[in-house]
């Protein structure tokens, strides 16, 4: 989805999951994990938060979603990870409500989709 967002110059990518968004640690294993509402720019600190997490639905867990965030935001799209169990979640995101985790776009002037993908493989 992040690659498609980059190819079509999307403004926003919404990823739905079985979790509310990004946490400082896996909230299913650590009750003290802190919910992250906004990620101003993807960096190693945020990438490490996805290590060792899995999803009960879909594929790849949080690490894959963070790679998607890195691709989408570098291509110039904001991205939101939100809980798809909420039937109104897309409407809430589009209304600008604080739901899920918002990853802020920071379009790279020299964005190279192939290079970004190769770095993550």
Q: What is the CATH number of the domain that holds 26?
A: 3.40.1160.10
- Express each pLDDT in 34-55 by its tens digit: 999 999 998 888 888 877 655 5
Segments forming the whole domain that contains residue 9: 2-120
pLDDT for the residue numbered 52 = 60
Does 19 score more than 60 pLDDT? yes
Does 58 score more than 90 pLDDT? no
Domain total in the chain = 1
The Cα–Cα gap between 35 and 20 comes to: 8
Distance set, CA 105 to CA 17, 34, 72, 114, 121 (Å)? 20, 22, 7, 18, 22
Q: What pTM does this model have?
A: 0.84
């Amino acid at each position: 989805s992040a690659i498609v967002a980059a190819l079509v110059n999307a403004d926003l990518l919404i990823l739905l999951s079985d979790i509310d968004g990004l946490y400082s640690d896996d909230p299913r294993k650590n009750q003290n994990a802190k919910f992250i509402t906004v990620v101003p720019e993807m960096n190693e600190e945020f990438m490490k938060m996805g290590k060792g997490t899995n999803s009960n639905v879909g594929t790849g867990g949080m690490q894959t979603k963070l790679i998607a965030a890195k691709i989408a935001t570098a291509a110039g799209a904001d991205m939101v990870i939100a809980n798809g169990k909420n039937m109104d979640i897309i409407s809430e995101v589009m209304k600008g409500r604080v739901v899920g985790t918002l990853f802020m776009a920071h379009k790279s002037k020299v964005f190279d989709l192939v290079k970004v993908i190769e770095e993550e493989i």
